[in-house]
Amino acid sequence: MQKIEAIKTLLEFSLLFSNQVKVEIVNNLNRFTEPEITSLGKLLAIEHENRSSLDEATIKSYIENFSKTYGKRQ
């Protein structure tokens, strides 16, 4: 399985991104650099491996953290 396909597979079940952002990610995957693909892939793999210990509070705080960091970059 190629990295891009693997990202799409995990993204479908990911709780880290809203559906809208998931669509944006999938539509832009071809424009990602190799390191960006690797980073996103690692993030999704971590999420998958820790899925059983995820809870709503974790996800919310993680998303908030992402939003703050992401917002500063805009």
Partner 1 sequence: MPTIEQQPSGLEKSKVTFKGFEEWTKANIDKAKAKFNEFKESLFSSERAGITERWKDISNNPEAKETLVALARLGINIGFTVADMIPGAGEVTETGLNALKMAGTIYAPLRDLDPTKSLSATETIAVQALTSPVELASLGTAPTYLINTIRQTWADYKAGNFSKAKEVVGYLITGNRDYYDKLKENSSKLDAAAGVLKK
| Binding stretches for partner 1 (CB under 8 A) | 1-3, 5-7, 9-10, 13, 15, 17-21, 24-25, 28, 31-33, 35-36, 38-67, 69-71, 73-74
Residue with tokens 């559906």: 19
Tokens of 46: 């971590």
Report d(CA 1, CA 72) in Å as an integer: 34
Minimum CB–partner distance for residue 19 and partner 1 (Å): 6
Minimum CB–partner distance for residue 11 and partner 1 (Å): 9
Minimum CB–partner distance for residue 1 and partner 1 (Å): 5
Report d(CA 73, CA 43) in Å as an integer: 19
